[in-house]
Amino acid sequence: MSLTLAEIKVILNANVITSKFDANIVIERAYSADLMSDVLSFSLTDSLLITGLVDKTVVRTAQVSNIKAIVFARGKVPSKDTVALADEKNIPLMITNYSKYESCGRLYEKGLRNSHDAK
Amino acid sequence: MTQNKETTMEGVFFLTGKDFTNAGAASCELKSILEKMEVEHSAIRRAAIAAFEAEMNIIIYTPAGMMKYSITPDHVKVVFQDMGHGIEDIELAMTEGYSTAPDYIREMGFGSGMGLPNIKKNTDEMKISSMPGAGTTLEFIIKLRQEKDNENL
Amino acid sequence: MKISEIVKGLSLEVKSANVNLEKEVTGGYVSDLLSDVIANCKEGNIWITLQTHQNIIAVAALRELSGIILVNGKLPNADTLKKANEEGILLMASSLPAFEIVGRLYNLGIRCR
């Protein structure tokens, strides 16, 4: 089961913060972690990343890991620099007020699964 | 593969310790270069991941260092040299989960003791040499194959 | 919901000894940042993480969590396990990644509280 970014935005009641945002992008799988080594090590390409960290390194980790989009949980707002970098690298960013747990649960309920399953 | 058989691409990035604003930028740049050279996808991903971990190590643990890369039709080779205090026990440092990172680094999502194992996992050859007080040199190679992808991925 | 039902439902491996599996789980929390867990986790929550450092046991004891699930096939190191046994903290493990574990807990009705 896949979801579009538009659907994910609704499910998570999220705000889009990058100026580049293609609502029709299809997300096939999701990955959740706060340790960037873990994202580098275990996430598969084209995942949605749900994380609690908002610094620039997250965007760079996403770029290296071919992450398609990032959701920041718990309403955490990244710096302008981080948003600018994401725009430059073409990685859409969203903020949700839900916790990471609630975000993962809601997306799972709507049929999204983890990277590992798709392997 | 449309890669130009004659070309060897080389370059160097200088890395500054504790510069978390630019942490990872060199590896992202390397990734873009590999993409422009149309290197196979799995090799790009493995090279970028390994480079990212090594770059983070320099930024977290040392005052400064550099990252030199050379890309040939056969392989991607990246060498990291730093001016840190060196690694006392390399075998121990290679253990997954072993880390000397302070808490503030862990809270940034790094320093969980996965860096060196992650580099090893993603590369075909990895060499590390270190002298306490004289810094560390880490070198890795990712072989480029025209046909089969590496089984590690 | 009792921990024992979760262990069974998600095929979790129980790592620590002498623990009470009849405890009630009040909700779930997923994070790899200890300060985040200390600040936001609630008593009786089950905590999903890939941190294996022994500090996780201190955090779980401090916030009186009902248990910790290590994901991605991570195993506790000897210090962590020893501390878990000393403090009576329930340590579990799964080969599944965090997203999958959270999704399944959510499906069982465990919410973030």
Confidence at residue B107, expressed as pLDDT on a 0 to 100 scale? 77
pLDDT tens-digit profile of A14-53?
Answer: 999 999 999 999 999 999 999 999 999 888 889 999 999 9
Interface contact B106-C52, CB threshold 8 A: no
Domains and CATH numbers, chain C: 3-107 (3.40.1390.20)
Nearest CA-CA distance, residue A27 and chain B, Å: 19
Confidence at residue A116, expressed as pLDDT on a 0 to 100 scale? 46
| % pLDDT > 90, chain C | 85
* pLDDT range class, residue B5, cuts 50, 70, 90: low
B93: helix, strand or coil: helix
Q: What one-letter code names the amino acid at B57?
A: N
Interface contact A37-B28, CB threshold 8 A: no
Count CB-CB contacts under 10 A for residue B107: 17
Residues of A in Cβ contact (< 8 Å) with C33: 34, 52-53
Q: Where are the domains positioned within chain A?
A: 3-118
* pLDDT range class, residue A94, cuts 50, 70, 90: very high
The alpha carbons of chain A give a radius of gyration, in whole angstroms, of 12
Give dist(CA A53, CA A71) in Å, integer. Answer: 10
Bridge partner list, B137: B81, B129
**Inter-CA distances, B28 with A99, B57, B80, B136, Å:** 29, 15, 15, 22
Give dist(CA A116, CA A119) in Å, integer. Answer: 5
Report CA dihedral (A21, A22, A23, A28) to the nearest 10 degrees.
-110
Q: Where are the domains positioned within chain B?
A: 10-143
Res B27 pLDDT > 90: yes
> Treating both helix axes as pointing N-terminal to C-terminal, what angle do B25-36 and B41-61 enclose, rounded to 10 degrees?
160
Q: What was the ipTM of the complex prediction?
A: 0.95
pTM: 0.88
Give dist(CA B125, CA B147) in Å, integer. Answer: 19
Write down the architecture of domain B10-143 according to CATH.
2-Layer Sandwich (3.30)
Nearest CA-CA distance, residue B98 and chain A, Å: 13
Confidence at residue B47, expressed as pLDDT on a 0 to 100 scale? 96
Mean pLDDT lowest among A75-84, A95-104, B26-35, B101-110? B101-110
Mean pLDDT value across chain B: 89
Give dist(CA A94, CA A21) in Å, integer. Answer: 10
Query: 40-99 in C: which are within 8 Å (CB) of B?
Result: 50-53, 74, 77
Res C57 pLDDT > 60: yes
According to the CATH classification, is domain A3-118 in 3.40.190.10? no
Nearest to B97 among C32, C34, C77 (CB): C77
* CA angle C19–C23–C29, rounded 5-degree value: 100
Count CB-CB contacts under 10 A for residue C73: 12
Res B33 pLDDT > 60: yes
